[in-house]
Amino acid sequence: MPALLSHRLAVPLVIALVVVALSFALPSNFYLRVAALVWISALAVIGLNLLMGYAGQVSLGHAGFFGLGAYAVAVLPAQFALHPLLAALVGAVICGLIAFVVGRPILKLKGHYLAVATLGFGILIAMAISNEAWLTGGPDGMPVSRMTLFGWRARGAETWYWITGGLLVVGAWIAVNLVASPTGRALRALHDSEVAARVAGIDVARYKVRVFVISAVYASVAGSALALVNGFVTPETANFMHSIELVTMVVVGGMGSILGSVAGAAILVVLPQVLTAFHEYEHMLLGLMMMVIMIVLRSGIVPSLAALIQRRRK
Amino acid sequence: MSILAVQDIGIAFGGVRAVDNVSFTAETGQVFSIIGPNGAGKTTLFNLVSGVYRPKTGQVRLDGAEVTTLEPNRLAERGLSRTFQNLQVFFRMSARENVMVGRHLKEKRGLLAHLLALPSTLAQNRESAEIADTLLARVGLADYADTPASSMPYGALKRLEIARALAADPKVLLLDEPAAGCNPVETEEIERLIRTIADDGVAVVLVEHDMKLVMRISDRVLVLDQGRVLAEGPGAEIRSNPKVIEAYLGTHGTREANLALD
Amino acid sequence: MPEFLQFSVSGLTVGAVYALVALGFTIIYNASDVVNFAQGEFVMIGGMATVFLTAAGIPLPVAALMAIAAAMAVGLALHRLAIEPARGASPVTLIIITIGASIFLRGLGQVVFDKQFHSLPSFSGDTPIRFGGAAILPQSFWVLAGAGIIVLALWAFFNRTLLGKAVLATAANRLAARLVGINTSFVVGFSFVVSAAIGAIAGILVTPITLTSYDIGTLLALKGFAAAMLGGMGNPLGAIVGGLAVGLLEAFGAGYLSSTYKDAIAFIVILGVLFVMPGGLFGRASVERV
């Protein structure tokens, strides 16, 4: 059993099982919608976790890529009559290219300096989105046309539940593949000791850019999915608070844990929904729970719980 | 022609010449040791040769080619590898994975194949893991293969770094105090290991404080004092060199001098 | 020229607030390596508490002092209840805790105060002072003078008092500080209290100009953090210069280029500076030790 659990494909399989099992357990379309939002956030968080948790490079601007992906499926079909899927693809390519170009100078920075540079970069994207109203509808956002595939219109909570759930499983599968590959080992190595990684022949700058591009593409695809599910985009998808939220999901779930990414996304998507019942105490409770979780499970939910269970066994 | 030739190399930190006009050569199949009191500039010299620091003067030639300003990863491509005095282990990885990282340059590095876990990548992973296991066995760490590096003892980590460096099939291997903090049994194992590495056709450059080890194992010895070369030659010549004795007596007292002369 | 002067004064005024927030970041960071993203909430508490206390009939100076005391109590509670229990956790875990604290305090502000914008009457009237063609609000002088006095007081404290030196020693080397008998936990708690007081004072001084509400802290923390990094993290002089620079960049950017992109201009400059000086303006180039 433990050997089975440590297999590379265990994590995407577990996620697939959860997606399937929940589809039976969730009582109404409202819950299916919330679950779809969890899958979308989890996808972006997995990408960010590859950058932060595995390669050790922080980004406080990832909502910028998320927002670009979201606006790609809003703007490109409206302006150039592009099919939404093609628009999402173009969005992902654009995000990858931007990450490739800005990655090299930005990722030379370390620690808090990297944080502030990515923060500034994200803010520039968010500002362009909310200020270029002629293209993006400005602060009010803009509608996203429905996606049709061979005459079939993708709509309804259940349809999107399965589409986003499928995307998440594929995203998790690609992520575990990467982590277990020579590239993944190079990324984890440069996280622990850049100088030792360089001596081992790893072109550290190049690998940092690689993972930055990959995580940007994850964020972009997740953004596109969100826009299509909601049928609407607003500049909030790209703003600073959303970047912070993504980072928080990574850390709460557990740095360097793919399963943790899903857990972190689930908690920070579901919790605010639950807490709306407490009206004006909503933010207090959210902040309080974030603090308590991080104090009690300081390595993040999944790694901390895994360590606890292991200790229990011994 | 020597595989590694260092000529008139030097660097200064805040006006202090940490390494000053040092020259030496290392030969394939031999052990070349660098000794000297603490602060003599031994580790700094390693950092200059391995591209971690950029020298202010002088040049480094590796296998005949000038490599003075190359990054460490470019030097690794040309066959230079090293270990570190204060450990630079990948603590979040298992012992096996640490050594697999050492295989990096020999691995297939197509990103798309990695993302999709194509058969070529899986085969590559298996091959690297097998080589890593062989190397772990060679340095006596076979039992630790699946252990996270963070829970391995100090002496084992020293050898783990050697295994990782060997994974790159280096032509030149710089070892920075591999026996520091090791007990006599471990030290003996390391001595045997270094000898076999050299016998396999690697030029080993060694920085070490254990004088007995140095004198037993080295083909040639260089003595560094305050960043300068004090003496260079075969071990027997070095231990009878009056300048060397004086330096050791002056800075470290009789105990270490006796050790050196033992 | 009058325009230039006008922009300079408004830039310096806002910049002084950023500088104080950045200084708060720096003090806590130096003592504990924690980047406290709840720093902006201290500014909010200072302004909002003063507004509500004066509205309850308490004279402004007393209300201001009470607000500062409230912020200091919150700072102490933050350290004792959230930072201290997580001692030894990774820096990123601690950052998320302070982000949680920031959300919590914002929620608390919303419950204790309200969700409206509030202002305070200017301390010495609203008649602009004409100077070289520019009209300068008297309150700007209060902000600048207040920031100047805080900086001088901090300088004297760190260089002239035993406690200040203990804080500096802790910042330089925590283990060594403990070995010579400094209670580093107390020092860290103290740094939270001092930072809270600085933030609250900034909030009180600037509220007559910029207004305040329960959620102003986020943006201030963001700008203060950026300013601290521009100057070089951990360097108090860098924090002050960084804060003033960000304020000036915003004011000139908004005045001469585009008001919608004023934040963008500040961040473009910050990115440019960091590309050339990866340790900020006053950061030292570090040699990798291996």
Separation in Å, CA of C285 to nearest CA in chain B: 12
Is the Cβ pair A210, B121 closer than 8 Å? no
Separation in Å, CA of B69 to nearest CA in chain A: 14
| Chain C residue whose CA is closest to B85 | C290
Q: Using one digit for the tens of pLDDT, what is the confidence trace for B180-203?
A: 888 898 899 999 999 999 999 999
List chain C residues with CB under 8 Å of B13. Answer: 287
Number of independent structural domains in chain C: 1
Q: What is the pLDDT of residue C285?
A: 55
**Best mutation target, A284, A286, A304, to test chain C (most C CBs within 10 A):** A284
Lookup result for tokens 């049928």: A231
pLDDT tens digit at each of 314 positions of chain A: 455 667 889 999 999 999 999 999 998 999 999 999 999 999 999 999 999 999 999 999 999 999 999 999 999 999 999 999 999 999 999 999 999 999 999 999 998 999 999 999 999 999 999 999 999 999 999 999 888 777 677 678 899 999 999 999 999 999 999 999 999 999 999 999 999 999 999 999 999 999 999 999 999 999 999 999 999 999 999 999 999 999 999 999 999 999 999 999 999 999 999 998 988 898 999 999 999 999 999 999 999 999 999 888 87
Residue A88, judged by CB atoms within 10 A of its CB (0-12, 13-18, 19+), counts as buried
Q: What is the pLDDT of residue A54?
A: 97
To the nearest 10 degrees (0 to 180), the angle between helices A111-131 and A62-80 is: 30
Closest CA to B52 of A190, A208, A197, C285: A197
Strands in chain A per DSSP E: 142-143, 148-149, 152-153, 232-233
List chain A residues with CB under 8 Å of B102. Answer: 200
Q: Are B139 and B196 in contact (CB under 8 A)?
A: no
| Chain A residue whose CA is closest to B105 | A201
Containing B11, the helix (H) or strand (E) segment is strand B4-13
Is the Cβ pair B77, A201 closer than 8 Å? yes
Closest CA to A112 of A58, A70, A67: A58
What is the pairing mode between strands B4-13 and B16-26? Answer: antiparallel
Give the three-class secondary structure for A255.
coil
List chain A residues with CB under 8 Å of C108. Answer: 284
Asked if residue C193 is part of any domain, the answer here is yes
The alpha carbon of B225 is separated from its chain's Cα centroid by a whole number of angstroms, namely 20
List chain C residues with pLDDT less than 50: none
Q: Which residue in A174, A193, A203 is closest to B115 by CB distance?
A: A174
Judged by a CB distance cut-off of 8 A, whether residue A113 touches chain C is yes
Q: Which residue in B73, B77, B115 is closest to A178 by CB distance?
A: B115
- In the predicted model, what is the mean pLDDT of residues B154-176? 96
Enter the tokens of residue B102: 């050492």
List chain C residues with CB under 8 Å of B72. Answer: none
Q: Are A178 and A214 in contact (CB under 8 A)?
A: yes
Q: Are A251 and A77 in contact (CB under 8 A)?
A: no
Contacts of C290 (CB under 8 A, 6+ apart): A195, B43, B47, B52, B84, B85, B86, B88
Is it true that B1-79+170-262 and B88-169 share their CATH fold? yes
- In the predicted model, what is the mean pLDDT of residues B116-122? 96
In this structure, whether the domain defined by B88-169 belongs to CATH 3.40.50.300 is answered with yes
Separation in Å, CA of C39 to nearest CA in chain A: 15
Q: What is the pLDDT of residue A1?
A: 44
Contacts of A152 (CB under 8 A, 6+ apart): none
Residue C91, judged by CB atoms within 10 A of its CB (0-12, 13-18, 19+), counts as middle
Asked if residue C128 is part of any domain, the answer here is no
B82 forms bridges with which residues in the sheet?
Answer: B174
> What CATH number does residue C255 fall under?
1.10.3470
Asked if residue C102 is part of any domain, the answer here is yes
Containing A85, the helix (H) or strand (E) segment is helix A84-106
Is the Cβ pair C107, A284 closer than 8 Å? yes
Separation in Å, CA of A174 to nearest CA in chain B: 5
Enter the tokens of residue B201: 């056709």
Is the Cβ pair C290, B13 closer than 8 Å? no
Contacts of C37 (CB under 8 A, 6+ apart): C95, C98, C99, C101, C102, C221, C225
Is the Cβ pair A294, C222 closer than 8 Å? no
CA-based torsion, A137, A140, A141, A145: positive or negative: negative
Q: What is the ipTM of this complex?
A: 0.91
Residue A92 CA to residue C232 CA, distance in Å, equals: 34
Separation in Å, CA of C290 to nearest CA in chain B: 6
Asked if residue C200 is part of any domain, the answer here is yes
Strands in A85-235 per DSSP E: 142-143, 148-149, 152-153, 232-233
Q: Are A41 and A222 in contact (CB under 8 A)?
A: yes
Enter the tokens of residue A46: 């997995």
Domain spans in chain B, listed from the N-terminal domain onward: 1-79+170-262, 88-169
Residue A114 CA to residue A52 CA, distance in Å, equals: 11
Contacts of C283 (CB under 8 A, 6+ apart): C232, C233, C235, C238, C277
Is the Cβ pair B90, A184 closer than 8 Å? no
Containing B81, the helix (H) or strand (E) segment is strand B80-82
**Best mutation target, C287, C289, C290, to test chain B (most B CBs within 10 A):** C290
List chain B residues with CB under 8 Å of A174. Answer: 115-116
Enter the tokens of residue A313: 């066994």
Asked if residue C268 is part of any domain, the answer here is no
Average pLDDT of every residue of chain B: 92
Judged by a CB distance cut-off of 8 A, whether residue C290 touches chain B is yes
Q: Which domain, by its residues, includes C154?
A: 2-122+136-261
Is the Cβ pair C290, B43 closer than 8 Å? yes
Q: What is the DSSP string of A111-139?
A: HHHHHHHHHHHHHHHHHHHHH-HHHH-GG
Q: Are A289 and C101 in contact (CB under 8 A)?
A: no
| Count of B-C CB contacts under 8 Å | 10
Contacts of A223 (CB under 8 A, 6+ apart): A44, A65, A66, A67, A68, A69, A70, A71, A72, A91, A237
Residue C140 CA to residue C127 CA, distance in Å, equals: 12
Q: Which chains, if any, share at least 3 CB pairs under 8 A with chain C?
A: A, B
Containing B229, the helix (H) or strand (E) segment is strand B228-233
Is the Cβ pair B84, A200 closer than 8 Å? no
Q: What is the pLDDT of residue C287?
A: 54
Residue C165 CA to residue B91 CA, distance in Å, equals: 36
- In the predicted model, what is the mean pLDDT of residues B6-33? 94
Gap between the terminal Cα atoms of chain A? 16
Separation in Å, CA of C279 to nearest CA in chain A: 7
Q: Are B204 and B192 in contact (CB under 8 A)?
A: no
Closest CA to A240 of A59, A22, A26, A13: A59
Cα distances (Å, whole numbers) of residue A57 to B176, C49, C73 = 29, 39, 35
| Chain B residue whose CA is closest to A190 | B90
Separation in Å, CA of C89 to nearest CA in chain B: 16
Q: Are C2 and C132 in contact (CB under 8 A)?
A: yes
| Chain B residue whose CA is closest to C287 | B53
Is the Cβ pair B100, A198 closer than 8 Å? no
List chain A residues with CB under 8 Å of B81. Answer: 199-200
Asked if residue C281 is part of any domain, the answer here is no
CA dihedral of residues C3, C8, C13, C18 (deg, nearest 10): 130
To the nearest 10 degrees (0 to 180), the angle between helices A240-253 and A111-131 is: 140
Interface of A with C in 259-298 (CB under 8 A): 280-291, 294-295, 298
Contacts within 8 Å (CB) and 24+ apart, A78-84 = A78/A142, A78/A145, A79/A135, A84/A144, A84/A145, A84/A147, A84/A224, A84/A228
Q: What is the pLDDT of residue A238?
A: 96
Separation in Å, CA of C139 to nearest CA in chain A: 30
Interfacial residues of B (vs A; Cβ cutoff 8 Å):
50-52, 71-73, 76-77, 81-82, 84, 88-93, 97, 100-105, 107-109, 111, 113-117, 121, 124-125, 128, 164-165, 168
CA-based torsion, C84, C86, C91, C94: positive or negative: negative
Lookup result for tokens 């912070």: A244
**Best mutation target, B52, B88, B150, to test chain C (most C CBs within 10 A):** B52
B66 forms bridges with which residues in the sheet?
Answer: B61
What is the pairing mode between strands A142-143 and B228-233? Answer: unpaired
List chain B residues with CB under 8 Å of C284. Answer: none
Q: What is the pLDDT of residue B252?
A: 53
Q: Which residue in B76, B111, B114 is closest to A199 by CB distance?
A: B76
Type of residue at A138: G
| Chain A residue whose CA is closest to C260 | A131
Render the burial of A109-147: b for 16+ CB within 10 Å, e for the rest: beebbbbbbbbbbbbbbbbbbbbeeeebbeeebbebeeb
Q: Which residue in B73, B115, B124 is closest to A201 by CB distance?
A: B73
From the CA atom positions of chain C, what is the Rg in Å? Answer: 19
| Chain A residue whose CA is closest to C265 | A124
The pTM of this model reads 0.93
Containing B22, the helix (H) or strand (E) segment is strand B16-26
| Chain A residue whose CA is closest to B111 | A183
Residue B204 CA to residue B136 CA, distance in Å, equals: 19
| Chain C residue whose CA is closest to B43 | C290
Instruction: Report which of residues A65 and B38 the model is more confident about.
Output: A65
Residue C202 CA to residue C196 CA, distance in Å, equals: 10
The CATH class of the B1-79+170-262 domain is: alpha beta
Q: Which chains, if any, share at least 3 CB pairs under 8 A with chain B?
A: A, C
Render the burial of A258-267: b for 16+ CB within 10 Å, e for the rest: bbbbbbbbbb
